[in-house]
């Protein structure tokens, strides 16, 4: 006979919208759910909302939710191909990935136990870089809300895999959310790719194989792929993934710093545009330098210059502009000297470490190509040289602008016949430097060049062109080659050696310095070289997936897009104590199968097949128990499987009844069959189906209110959540309660309280609307 389940009602709420996904945190009092609007909400057991993450786009649905083990990090897969890692504690988006296909499922694997899996490779250099590298200074100019998904830090915590399953059948593995640790296309391993669908893909407990549950034509199959690289190189992979995360964070920091540089440079241009550029655009090209040189050398000011100095500007107004420009240039100097320079040094340190790993071929031969790592180091060195080149260019501009501003204030005072302090009088050396500056203020245009054609003419008819030669700095922040190369210092010995010996510039032992590339181009070149470093682990791991076992679970009806699809839902659990991987899957509306893959040397598969229908020798049951079908199932723990079932009736208008079933796997162990893993196994021919009503003390039933459609359970938290009423009502139960608190036979008063609360919640939502 069916037993009753020991559960206690904690509460029920009508939600403001349809809930499509639910997931309990295994350690903390947190449940996450995704709505039909694409939002992700995290709340506590007492219904207190912690944070709501908005949808990443219009008409985007939440496909999957997964908590990182014992952490506040939530992985979310969206229908537009985005995978976001959300932190419930800081209420921020930690990082994100973008794929070009719809997401089927994302999940975190169990934590990698370093004591068990690191094997013979040990490294005591964890976060050793903190001893040598100063911490990168925060970028106060960047608004965290304006950062895109790929510009955030990467998650910390227990090392684990993030697995991304695409609807197309491609599966991507990421270690620490950073290192691309291989991928596999399941359509290459099926007989009927035209009738293919993937339901779930899971890493085994030893992280050296994956299980793929999929449709292959008219068969539901479980494919087992072994991976030798994952088995042999887990410890080096963890080391490489840690440095990969540091490198990606540094890349994001460089991108953010470059964004700040662009904003600071635009501020400099804006300050100059206010008054000075307006005057410059009103003059013919070359006349500004001519007029200012006449004013400087002969003390003669033209009418246009006097009008600009006294009518447009004043001493006080020019000092204000000068202070603003100096402040912006100082900010620009700080960003290059501190942030960008520090990030380049950090990047070189991490790449140098990876190049060192590559020389330990016994451990890293399958993961790192030493030649590619050295080339990435050289590209990083070239970027560092370009940063210093930009720094010297900015320093030169700062000195020039200070000299120009001092001379302009001096000239205004002299022409207005005011007293000039002695400290404002320029020295002979400063006068020579000022003359050179005024001559170079408008570079000469080469004859026959296209510069005249590229000068834009605003509505006033005067061209917009070089603004006091500020382009010598601005050109570094554009994705184009430099037009004004940094002048070579003839006194530098290294420059002389390079000019006399071309072989030195091509030697791989020295860092190349391409003077024609801008900072943006040099950064992109460095990023491409870094990406090439991490291609090898992906290629090695992907090529190492070998199909070892194909298990046929059942026969499926043909795929018909217009008709209701076959019902296949599954749940996965890693049993550490038993050293086995457990998979529960529904193979029809009334039948389910529990597979236990042993990770021991015996290579055994234990299979338990159960059905909701009564057997030929089943005692008399309640009429609803004769017409039950599966709605959802999840592992509660290693010894219990939680099922959600629903009654069916051929009579129209009859409301179905829902039942929560707690199924004991230990009680059903005598009804299971054992099999040795073989390349091809057909379980329907080698197993027997048992009715859950005929297994003694195996199934505990509990009637539920409403038409239930989804289930979320947590054995560690001892809670269960059920969605009903078209996924708009959430009911939470406490599991494993004491006998005196048993609320199994829920009274009509309890149902009435839930109904009243539901009506009140609906009225509140209507008032808000």
The 3-state DSSP class for residue 614 equals coil
Strands 604-611 and 689-691: parallel
Residues 244 and 234: their CA atoms lie apart, in Å, by: 15
DSSP state of 564: P
- Predicted pLDDT of residue 126: 58
Domain map (residue ranges) of the chain: 237-442+465-541
Which of 111-115, 261-265, 313-317 is the most confident on average? Answer: 261-265
How far CA 290 is from CA of 283, 302, 405, 472, in Å, comes to: 11, 10, 18, 20
Shortest CA distance to 380 belongs to which of 349, 416, 417?
Answer: 349
DSSP state of 382: H
- Predicted pLDDT of residue 502: 77
Residues 692 and 606: their CA atoms lie apart, in Å, by: 17
Q: What average pLDDT does the chain have?
A: 83
Shortest CA distance to 60 belongs to which of 39, 79, 75, 76?
Answer: 79
Burial of 79 (0-12, 13-18, 19+ CB in 10 A): middle
Tens of pLDDT, residue by residue over 737-764, are 765 444 444 433 343 344 444 444 444 5
Residues 633 and 524: their CA atoms lie apart, in Å, by: 48
Confidence of residue 151 (pLDDT cuts 50, 70, 90): very low
Tens of pLDDT, residue by residue over 559-608, are 876 555 568 999 999 999 989 999 999 999 999 999 999 998 888 999 99
Confidence of residue 416 (pLDDT cuts 50, 70, 90): confident
- Predicted pLDDT of residue 607: 96
- Give CA torsion, residues 735, 36, 649, 661, to 10 deg: -10
Tens of pLDDT, residue by residue over 513-569, are 888 999 999 999 999 999 999 999 999 999 999 999 999 999 998 887 655 556 899
The 3-state DSSP class for residue 681 equals strand
Q: Which residues pair with 550 in a beta bridge?
A: 223, 680
DSSP 575-598: ETTTTEEEEEEESSSSEEEEEEEE
Residues 6+ positions from 418 with CB-CB distance below 8 Å: none
- Predicted pLDDT of residue 730: 95
CA atoms within 13 A on the CB side of 623: 2
DSSP state of 314: -
- Predicted pLDDT of residue 385: 93
Choose between 768 and 228: higher pLDDT: 228
Strands 729-735 and 7-14: antiparallel
Percentage above 70 pLDDT, the chain: 83
Burial of 743 (0-12, 13-18, 19+ CB in 10 A): middle
Residues 429 and 76: their CA atoms lie apart, in Å, by: 64
Phi-psi region of 675 (alpha: psi -120 to 50; beta: other; left: phi over 0): beta
Choose between 469 and 376: higher pLDDT: 376
Kind plus residue range of the DSSP H or E element containing 7: strand 7-14
- Predicted pLDDT of residue 582: 96
The pTM of the full predicted model, rounded to 2 decimals, is 0.81
Look-up of token digits 């320093």: 395
The 3-state DSSP class for residue 46 equals coil
């Amino acid at each position: 006979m069916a037993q009753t389940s020991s559960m206690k009602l904690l509460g029920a709420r009508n939600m403001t919208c349809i809930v499509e996904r639910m997931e309990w945190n295994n350690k903390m009092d947190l449940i996450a759910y995704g709505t039909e609007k694409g939002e992700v909400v995290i709340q506590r057991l007492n219904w207190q909302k912690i944070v709501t993450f908005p949808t990443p786009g219009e008409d985007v649905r939440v496909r999957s939710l997964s908590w990182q083990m014992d952490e506040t990090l939530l992985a979310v897969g969206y229908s537009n191909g985005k995978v976001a890692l959300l932190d419930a504690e800081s209420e921020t988006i930690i990082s994100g990935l973008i794929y070009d296909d719809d997401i089927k499922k994302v999940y975190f694997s169990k934590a990698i136990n370093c004591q068990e899996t690191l094997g013979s490779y040990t490294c005591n250099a964890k976060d050793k870089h903190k001893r040598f590298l100063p911490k990168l200074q925060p970028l106060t100019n960047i608004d965290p809300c304006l950062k895109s998904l790929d510009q955030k830090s990467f998650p910390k915590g227990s090392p684990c895999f993030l697995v991304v399953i695409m609807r197309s059948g491609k599966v991507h593995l990421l270690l620490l959310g950073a290192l691309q640790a291989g991928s596999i296309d399941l359509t290459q391993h099926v007989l009927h790719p035209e009738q293919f669908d993937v339901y779930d893909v899971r890493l085994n407990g030893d992280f050296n194989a994956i299980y793929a549950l999929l449709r292959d034509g008219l068969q539901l199959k479980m494919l087992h792929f072994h991976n030798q690289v994952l088995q042999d190189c887990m410890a080096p992979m963890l080391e490489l993934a840690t440095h990969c995360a540091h490198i990606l964070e540094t890349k994001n920091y460089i991108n953010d710093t470059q964004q700040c540089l662009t904003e600071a440079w635009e501020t400099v241009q804006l300050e100059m545009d206010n008054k000075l550029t307006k005057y410059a655009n009103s003059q013919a090209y070359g006349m500004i330098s001519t007029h200012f040189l006449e004013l400087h050398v002969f003390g003669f000011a033209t009418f246009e210059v006097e009008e600009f100095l006294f009518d447009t500007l004043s001493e006080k107004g020019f000092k204000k502009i000068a202070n603003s420009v100096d402040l912006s240039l100082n900010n620009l100097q700080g960003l290059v000297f501190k942030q960008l320079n520090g990030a380049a040094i950090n990047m070189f340190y991490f790449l140098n470490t990876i190049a060192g790993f590559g020389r330990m071929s016994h451990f890293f031969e399958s993961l790192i190509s030493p030649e590619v790592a050295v080339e990435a180091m050289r590209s990083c060195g070239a970027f560092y040289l370009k940063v210093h080149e930009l720094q010297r260019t900015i320093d030169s501009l700062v000195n020039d602008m200070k000299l120009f501003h001092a001379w302009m204030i001096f000239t205004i005072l002299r022409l207005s016949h005011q007293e000039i302090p002695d400290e404002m009088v320029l020295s002979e050396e400063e006068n020579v430097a000022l003359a050179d500056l005024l001559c170079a203020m408008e570079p000469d245009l080469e004859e026959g060049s296209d510069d005249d054609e590229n000068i834009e003419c605003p509505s006033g008819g005067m061209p917009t062109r070089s603004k006091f030669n500020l382009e010598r700095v601005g050109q570094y922040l554009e994705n184009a080659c430099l037009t004004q190369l940094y002048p070579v210092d003839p006194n530098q010995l290294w420059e002389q050696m390079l000019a006399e010996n071309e072989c030195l510039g091509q030697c791989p032992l020295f860092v190349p310095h391409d003077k024609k590339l801008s900072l943006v181009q040099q950064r992109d070149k460095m990023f491409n070289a870094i990406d090439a470093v991490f291609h090898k682990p992906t290629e090695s791991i992907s090529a190492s997936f070998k199909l070892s076992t194909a298990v046929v679970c059942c026969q499926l009806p043909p795929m018909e897009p217009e008709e209701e699809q076959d019902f296949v839902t599954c749940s996965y659990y890693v049993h550490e104590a038993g050293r086995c991987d457990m998979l529960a899957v529904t193979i029809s509306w009334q039948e389910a199968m529990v597979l236990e893959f042993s990770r021991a040397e015996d290579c055994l598969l234990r299979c338990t097949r159960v059905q909701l229908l009564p057997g030929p020798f089943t005692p008399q049951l309640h009429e609803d128990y004769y017409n039950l079908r599966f709605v959802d199932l999840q592992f509660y723990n290693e010894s219990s499987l939680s099922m959600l079932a629903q009654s069916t009736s051929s009579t129209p208008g009859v409301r179905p009844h829902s039942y929560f079933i707690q199924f004991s796997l230990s009680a059903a162990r005598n009804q299971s069959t054992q099999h040795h893993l073989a390349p091809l196994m057909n379980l329907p021919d080698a197993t027997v189906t048992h009715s859950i009503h005929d297994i003694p003390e195996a199934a505990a039933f509990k009637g539920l209110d409403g038409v239930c459609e989804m289930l979320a359970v947590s054995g560690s938290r001892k809670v269960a959540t059920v969605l009903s009423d078209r996924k708009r009502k959430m009911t939470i139960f406490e599991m494993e309660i004491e006998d005196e608190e048993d609320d199994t036979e829920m009274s009509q008063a309890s149902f009435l309280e839930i109904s009243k609360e539901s009506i009140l919640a609906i009225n509140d939502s209507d008032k808000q609307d």
